[in-house]
Copies of this chain bind each other. A is one copy, B any other.
Amino acid sequence: MSVDRSYLKVGETVSGQSFEVSVLHIKGSNANAPKVYIQSSMHGAELQGNAVIYQLLQHFEKHAPLGDITIVPHCNPMGGNHKVGEYTQGRFDPVTGNNWNRNYHHPDRTWINKFAEQHLNATKAEIIQAFKSDWLKQLEAALAEPWKLSRGHLMSYRLQTLATQADIVLDLHTGSKAARYLYAPRYAEDSVHYFHQEFVLLMDNQFGGALDEASFCPWLCLEEALIALGHPEAKRPDFESFTVELGTQEQIDFDSAELTANGILSYLAFKHVIAAQWLNPPEIERHIVPSANLVSFYAPMGGLYRFIKQPGDIVKAGEVFAQCLRVAEHGQSDTLIDIEAPFDGYIVNAFDSAAIPMGIELVKLMRVHR
């Protein structure tokens, strides 16, 4: 099985050179099988997706998939190469502060409703085909007027021309110092049991700019419009997209990558993208909650923090999960201060530096109870 490569231009430098990303293409053996789009590292410090892609490529080279698979490993050269000190400030555009993962295109809802009306007599397959095609045209039209596009939008739209052609989209991310978790559309809850992700956040039809939302929300809007109009085949989108959070940033971990890759392969087998023999859902405990259950806990004081509890751990309301050391305040206020959880929850993500000014997100807590 060979992997083809092409290059996609996603921006231009100050000297007029192109920022280009490598796109890997794996041809499936069955033209009718679902097509998959995978990208990694839109946030520049979130590297682990590339290790997962390495595992997937090894698999695909030995076992050709049924469906076409398109992979963009380091999809954001502007974020990925913005190092400051040892680390990568790749979460937001260093010029503007705009989060790199908030710039995708969602077709206008009014337009979607109109599209549904116009295609009421078409079959579902025809509708899917036409919707993808029109959506792609919208992206191309937007890209033809670059003066209206920020560089985040420009890059995202270019990548989205690839994603829009797929039936499944996986956007590989990581947290700071984090557990493995998954953002999934609520309607795709069945699918989450095939991934190797211990924590699952279910999302409703709310678009905030990220690729997973930009990918599934339009299909959900279309389904809703078709249902409202009484289209007989409309139930839930055939399309699925996920943000797969692979653990801790700024590192690659081959053991974890193997687990995650096997989970992804299991999901792809479930969706008939690869042969059924790879369907082997990881037997792990999953904590599945609405995405609103993920709550930011900001450092209530400035200092150096040590964690008593780690990402993946559960904490009870009132339980000390971290301590704040303030040696310079010795004698004036307490030097080591306990930080207590405000409610029962799992620590899903923790700040990856001990030096934390007041008001910076210390942890993300996944509330157990609503």
> Chain A: residues with CB nearer than 8 A to chain B?
2-5, 11-17, 20-22, 24, 44-45, 47, 50-51, 53-54, 57, 73-74, 77-78, 80-99, 146-155, 176, 250-254, 296-306, 325-333, 335-336, 342, 351-362
Q: From A365, which residue of chain B is reached at the shortest CB distance?
A: B147
In the bound complex, what is the Cα–Cα distance between A15 and B351 (angstroms)?
A: 17
- Contacts A88-B355, A325-B50, A354-B47; is A298 near B149 (CB within 8 Å)? yes
Which residues of B sit under 8 angstroms from A354, Cβ to Cβ?
47, 250-252
Q: From A85, which residue of chain B is reached at the shortest CB distance?
A: B89
Are the C-beta atoms of B13 and A51 separated by less than 8 Å? no
Q: From A355, which residue of chain B is reached at the shortest CB distance?
A: B14
- Contacts A98-B97, A301-B146, A303-B15; is A358 near B151 (CB within 8 Å)? yes
16 pairs across A/B with beta carbons < 8 Å? Answer: A13-B80, A15-B80, A24-B330, A47-B304, A47-B355, A57-B327, A73-B328, A83-B95, A85-B89, A95-B357, A148-B298, A149-B359, A150-B361, A151-B359, A151-B360, A252-B354
Which residues of B sit under 8 angstroms from A5, Cβ to Cβ?
330-332
Are the C-beta atoms of A88 and B353 separated by less than 8 Å? yes
A325 CB to closest chain B CB (Å) equals 6
In the bound complex, what is the Cα–Cα distance between A91 and B103 (angstroms)?
A: 20
- Contacts A47-B304, A355-B45; is A2 near B331 (CB within 8 Å)? yes
Are the C-beta atoms of B81 and A84 separated by less than 8 Å? no
Q: From A305, which residue of chain B is reached at the shortest CB distance?
A: B252
A278 CB to closest chain B CB (Å) equals 21
A106 CB to closest chain B CB (Å) equals 19
In the bound complex, what is the Cα–Cα distance between A359 and B76 (angstroms)?
A: 14
